[in-house]
Structure 1
Amino acid sequence: MRVLVTDAEYASLDIEAGVLRAAGHELRTARCTTAQEVVDAAGDADALLVQYAPITAEVFDALPRLRLVSRYGVGVDVVDQEAARARGVWVCNVPDYGTTEVALHATALLLALLRNLGGHDREVRARRWDYQLGGPLRRPSGLTLGVIGLGRIGRMTAERAAPWFGGCVGYDPHLPDSAWPPGVERVALDEVFARSNAVTLHLPLADRTRGLVDAERLSRMPPGSYLVNTARGGLMDLDALVQALDDGRLAGVGLDVLPQEPPEWGHPLLTHPRALLTPHVGWYSEEAEAELRCKAAQNIVDWASTGRPTYPVVEGR
């Protein structure tokens, strides 16, 4: 098996190399940012390990030998899944490597917003010692938490954060009632926004979810609400978020992801005093990174030995 790592932000690829070479497979590396660069680098590759490089229909057409794409991470929006399905190419991911880390990060952002930790920190550093300068704070037991997406991460976030709140509502169109978590009231999507004082997002990015958090949905939220996103930046309209912060609809946002990463540095959200931003670090711990890289490579090893990857998203042939 010839395997190409199209792109990766790790200092070395020793983990992937160890997994693949132990099974007798060849590893190549590249630094691709475009579909054409993937085509040029892949040659006769049987499988791709991908982080951010776009894997388009044109890539599949130019690489007829390609049989599998394994993505570092949960989301597979960098891969044209319909094109892969039409050509019988397997697509797989690693859905369970950083569940604890992302749920912890989402909860940390949420609690930091509720206590305005960022604002109080700025005031103290400016030599202003006054608990009232950060504005009014609310007791969480009088507020409602909304969780959109109740897979592994959303469920764990609800389990950790909901006890602080007076109630919890949730939305997930794919989760059956039999698997619905206790303590979370199932409601429609727009009702989550209308009833929640704090909303946390745990959805994949797809055509149906792109731009889901727009001006209309934000306008449904109670004044002085909070929004946390540790899922995908493309779920949000950033300009609508800034407007909602400016007009008081949102008291704060906690974002680990943005539609463009790194962001457009001049965007007003990046300097907004009620925006708490982190650099897509929610997934990260040393242990989670090692697990991610090992499992992304193991997808390929399992497919080569059994005909099926560990975590298929699109089934090939």
Structure 2
Amino acid sequence: MAEHKVIITDCDHESMEIESRILDAAGISFAHKACLSEDDVVSEGQGATVFLNQYAPITDKVMRSLPDLKLVVRYGVGVNNVDLEAATRHGVQICNVPDYGTHEVADHALALMLALTRKIVLMNEAVHRGEWNYTKSIPIFRHSETTVGVIGVGRIGTAFANKVHALGCQVIGYDPKHREKPSRTLPAHIQLVGLEELLATSDVVSIHCPLDTARNLIDEAELRLMKQTAYLINVSRGGIVNETALDLALEQGWIAGAAADVAEVEPLPSDSPLLRHSQFLCTPHMAWYSEQAALELKRKVAEEAVRFLRGEQVHYPVNQLSYKI
């Protein structure tokens, strides 16, 4: 096999041992860069055939400037930092790794849900203040009489739905990407409804859809549809929930609380008005993480690059090209 140049545009992982082992075994050399801007990518990426990419922007300018580039594999599910239209136009295959942390993200959403519905954080803080009084948690509702609305019924949304169904919850679903019919058969316990019905009916709403089909999907009008006793969870992408509207909803009591693992600007600014609400829980974009998921992600990114350079079919194409190496 001819030698091809692989560049890791950016990656904040502690070790590149897994990528190095897989690429070395295939006889593929690579370089690890620390690109932040599109100019960095253009400067450091000259002559590259493949990019392994975490956050650095892959723009039209980048692809116009790098005619040898034929594949970009993202460390993760989302491709927000990649211009997909330009990639297809320039014949650049974009791949992601959509299945490395499915259960981790679903588990995290479940953990946030239980923390909200069982008032875990609120009561823990009260006990630490010396208050031993369960009545401060009222009201709490039985999960087997709870309706959970799942926005986005792909891999992660379905995994989350299965977990809350095991608690006895009724599950309803809505998919912004496949509004009339999802792309695959769903479990029988997920009943598909319209977005307005889901918001008005659900006791918990959990978001599991990509940003490209759902920017500002939950805005002031949508939050006003929700029950005053309902909770909103977002472990998908910042920008799906309008944060100004969410602040207003929490301030005025349109909903009982919210939890997020993502923000429109990350890290969430320390002066964000959302942080003044005790009924708002936030974690630092960690839902994907477990030791096993982190290793699986690195392995699958490198293996996808090897497949492509060997002329094999990639496993996780995001855009559809007829091009082969």
Q: Deviations over 1:15-69 (max 9, x none)?
A: 1111112111111111112111111111111110111111110100010110000
1:49 alignment partner, SS class: strand
The equivalent residue for 2:195 is 189
Of 249, 257, 263, which residue of structure 1 is paired with 2:262?
257
Q: Offset of 1:125 from its aligned partner?
A: 0.9
Measure, in 2, the Cα distance between the counterparts of 1:308 and 1:62: 26
Identity %: 42
In structure 2, the partner of 1:134 is 137
Structure 2: distance between partners of 1:53 and 1:195: 40
1:191-217: CA deviation from partner (whole Å, max 9, x where unpaired): 2111111100100110x3111111111
Consecutive unaligned residues in structure 1, runs of 5 or more: none
For 1:314, what is the secondary structure of its paired residue? Answer: coil
Confirm or deny: 8 A CA contact 2:251 2:277 kept in the other structure.
Answer: no
- 1:16 paired with 2:22, answer no
Equivalent pair of 1:228/1:254 in contact (CA under 8 Å): yes
Aligned partners of 2:33 and 2:112: how far apart in 1?
35
Residue in 2 aligned with 1:150?
153
- Structure 2: stretches of 5+ with no match in the other structure: none
Deviation at 1:177, TM superposition (A): 8.0
RMSD: 1.4
Indicate whether 1:202 and 2:208 are aligned. yes
Please give the secondary structure, in 1, of the residue aligned with 2:266. Answer: coil
Q: 1:248 aligns to what? A: 253
* Number of residue-to-residue matches in the alignment: 316
After TM superposition, the structure 1 stretch with the greater mean CA deviation from structure 2, 59-68 or 159-168, is 159-168
2:242 corresponds to which of 234, 237, 241: 237
Is the aligned partner of 1:180 residue 2:186? yes
Shift of 1:162: 2.6
TM-superposed deviation, 1:178: 6.2
- Which of 61, 64, 86 lines up with 2:67 in the alignment? 64
TM (normalized to structure 2)? 0.94
Judged with a 3 Å threshold, the aligned counterparts in structure 2 of structure 1 residues 33 and 177 are, in CA distance, closer, same or farther, namely closer
Equivalent residue, structure 1, for 2:54: 51
* CA drift at 1:222: 1.1
Q: CA deviation at 1:144?
A: 1.2
1:84 aligns to what?
87
Alpha-carbon deviation of 1:9? 1.5
Q: Structure 1 length normalisation: TM-score?
A: 0.96
Whether the 8 Å contact between 1:211 and 1:236 is mirrored in structure 2 is yes
Identify the match of residue 110 of structure 2 among 100, 107, 110. Answer: 107
Matched, 1:42 2:45: yes
Give per-residue Cα distances to partners, 1:165-194, cap 9 Å, x unaligned.
552210124254860221111111222111
